């Protein structure tokens, strides 16, 4: 985004050509067609066309191609679809469409990767299984028909292009499971066709969608692993069924959502990272978050959420980032959360709230000057850098309606949660694509997937 287009362009072009020259020319990428629920495990951007010299098109320009010119029927059909799409590309600053010539789609076309669908022979059934236009800056209004017509496609990754138009209904694409349209020019309401039952990965961040997010996003994507909707203009209350989604990574940050975080969130047992930050959420912080044993990142900072911080959050043994800064929270900072900071895993950011007291472990952390507990700009007596007494007085007088519950699901539980899931420890997340901008908002540089989604570049995946 801040990067000069020229530098980016040459980088990507080299990327497309050099990587491919290291690899065999045919279909050697690891995408699993129809694979679901196994994590985000695609070798994006790996493999691909061999360097082709643009001046020597491999097809005889005189004759129109026949099915027999191609390795498979699928590839012949895809050839026609690609040539149709090529005509709709009105801007191609990196010149990738110049490689879309001739019969060798799998070997020579930049952005196209082949594999046979399940049940097909890997030679005579070879098909276009993946399209990766990440960072290619192509302009087209017709990407929808293109994706729809590539009927064997499983993955469509088009981060940072200039695509506009409609998200297609992919009812004739039985293998399709990853849709990345992040950082494009999509507008209008949430695209209903983006809710396709087999999707595992849905990335619509950095577009200008507005209006409500339909509840179907959470109830009709039964295989969803990651849903990124951040940096749009979505508004309205969060659907109350949010917690019934099977997602592991959910980002709703930087929109205009209102209302409370739904208490159904307690059902989202797969959740590893969730970002609600920088919306206009209000209401009380739900106790039920304390049931999400696998949770690693919970960030609802920069909202108008109020109430006490429930004791139940102290049960979240895998939590690494609990960020609730810039809200209207009050009461006591739970001792159990400070213990999680003390034992070294948790980063607890509660600055710019109205907390008034701390437990003993919290005090120890303050005295140590431990930066993992941040309670600046609250109303805690004797702690440095708090709000003015006027501010605190003003807030104290306001009526408080949130219930206070000391219910702590892990207290008295016989089986301690010992399974340790850590997004950053167990899954090294290496960016394979050039990362524009690097660190995300607030200067956090991390391998967390959802924080990685806060800039416009592709989400790091392994
Ligand atoms: C792609 O689909 C559209 C509409 O569904 C159709 O009109 C068009 O002919 C198709 N193009 C190719 C090349 O298959
Ligand atoms: C594809 O076919 C080759 C031989 O034609 C075989 O060695 C290879 O194991 C096959 N790969 C898959 C994934 O079926
Ligand atoms: C994006 O597309 C619009 C038209 O759809 C065009 O006016 C604009 O110049 C394109 N932007 C870039 C960066 O190519
Ligand atoms: C979903 O996947 C199954 C096979 O895994 C396939 O039979 C079905 O057609 C797919 N559904 C859609 C809408 O593509
Ligand atoms: C919060 O979101 C608004 C608009 O959605 C954006 O303009 C602003 O920069 C964001 N703030 C931060 C701190 O990211
Ligand atoms: C904790 O979060 C703060 C604010 O987001 C950040 O500056 C700091 O680097 C984080 N510390 C760790 C250890 O992650």
* Every domain of the chain and the residues it spans: 121-452
Q: Which residue has the higher pLDDT, 396 or 4?
A: 396
Residue 414: pLDDT band (50, 70, 90) is very low
Ligand 4 pocket residue status of 34, Cβ below 6 Å:
yes
Could you tell me the distance, in angstroms and rounded to a whole number, from the CA of residue 359 to the centre of ligand 6? 21
Per the CB < 8 A criterion, the answer to whether 112 and 106 are in contact is: yes
Quick one: average pLDDT of 106-112? 96
Among 65-69, 196-200, 237-241, the least confident range: 65-69
Ligand 1 pocket residue status of 83, Cβ below 6 Å:
no
Atom of ligand 1 nearest to the CA of 85: 13
Query: Above 50 in pLDDT, residue 53?
Result: no
Instruction: Select from 32, 198, 216, 224 the residue to mutate for testing ligand 4; criterion: most ligand atoms less than 8 Å from CB.
Output: 198
Does CATH place domain 121-452 in 3.90.280.10? no
H or E segment and range at residue 12: helix 5-21
Instruction: Select from 162, 183, 456 the residue to mutate for testing ligand 3; criterion: most ligand atoms less than 8 Å from CB.
Output: 162
Closest listed residue to residue 457, CA positions, set 12, 91, 48, 10: 12
| Mean of pLDDT over the chain | 82
Quick one: average pLDDT of 291-307? 97
Residue 417: pLDDT band (50, 70, 90) is very low
Contacts 24+ apart (CB under 8 A), 410-414: 410/290, 410/312, 410/314, 410/315, 410/317, 411/315
Atom of ligand 5 nearest to the CA of 278: 1
Query: Above 50 in pLDDT, residue 282?
Result: yes
Q: In sequence order, which residues have a C-beta less than 8 Å from that of residue 270 and are 6 or more positions away?
A: 246, 247, 248, 294
| Residue 16, pLDDT score | 54
Counting ligands in written order, the one closest to the CA of 136 is 3
Instruction: Select from 116, 122, 126 the residue to mutate for testing ligand 2; criterion: most ligand atoms less than 8 Å from CB.
Output: 122
Residue 461: pLDDT band (50, 70, 90) is low
């Amino acid at each position: 985004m801040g990067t000069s287009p020229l530098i980016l362009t040459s980088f990507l072009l080299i990327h497309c050509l050099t990587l491919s020259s290291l690899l065999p020319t045919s279909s050697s990428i690891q995408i699993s067609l129809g694979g679901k629920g196994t994590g985000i495990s695609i070798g994006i951007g790996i493999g691909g066309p061999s360097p082709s010299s643009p001046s020597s098109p491999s097809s005889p320009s005189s004759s129109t191609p026949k099915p027999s010119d191609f390795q498979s029927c699928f590839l012949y059909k895809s050839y026609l679809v690609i040539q149709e799409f090529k005509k709709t590309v009105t801007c191609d600053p990196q010149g990738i469409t110049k490689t879309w010539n001739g019969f060798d789609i799998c070997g020579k076309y930049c952005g196209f990767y082949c594999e046979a669908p399940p049940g097909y022979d890997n030679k005579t059934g070879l098909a276009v299984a993946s399209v990766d236009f990440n960072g290619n800056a192509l302009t087209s209004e017709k990407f929808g028909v293109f994706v729809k017509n590539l009927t064997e496609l499983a993955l469509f990754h088009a981060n940072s292009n200039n695509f506009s138009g409609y998200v297609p209904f992919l009812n004739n694409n039985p293998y399709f499971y990853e849709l990345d349209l992040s950082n494009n020019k999509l507008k209008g309401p949430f695209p209903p066709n983006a809710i396709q039952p087999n999707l595992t990965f849905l990335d619509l961040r950095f577009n200008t969608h507005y209006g409500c997010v339909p509840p179907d996003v959470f109830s009709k994507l039964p295989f969803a692993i990651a849903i990124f909707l951040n940096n749009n203009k979505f508004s309205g209350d969060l659907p109350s069924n949010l917690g019934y989604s099977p997602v592991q990574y959910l980002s709703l940050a930087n929109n205009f959502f209102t209302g409370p975080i739904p208490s159904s969130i307690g059902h989202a047992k797969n959740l590893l990272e969730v970002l609600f930050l920088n919306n206009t959420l209000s209401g009380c912080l739900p106790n039920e978050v304390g049931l999400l044993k696998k949770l690693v990142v919970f960030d609802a900072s920069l909202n108008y959420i109020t109430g006490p911080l429930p004791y139940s959050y102290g049960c979240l043994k895998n939590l690494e980032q609990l960020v609730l800064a810039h809200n209207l929270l009050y009461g006591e900072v739970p001792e159990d959360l400070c213990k999680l900071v003390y034992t070294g895993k948790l980063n607890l950011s509660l600055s710019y709230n109205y907390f008034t007291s701390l437990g003993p472990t919290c005090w120890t952390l303050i005295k140590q000057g431990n930066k993992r507990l941040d309670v600046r700009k609250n109303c805690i007596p004797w702690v440095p850098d708090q709000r003015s007494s006027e501010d605190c007085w003003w807030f104290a007088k306001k009526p408080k309606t949130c219930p206070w519950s000391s219910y702590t699901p892990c207290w008295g539980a016989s089986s301690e949660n010992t399974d340790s899931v850590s997004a950053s420890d167990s899954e090294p997340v290496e960016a394979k694509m050039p990362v524009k901008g690097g660190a995300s908002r607030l200067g956090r540089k991390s391998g967390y997937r959802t924080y990685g989604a806060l800039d416009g570049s592709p989400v790091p995946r392994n």
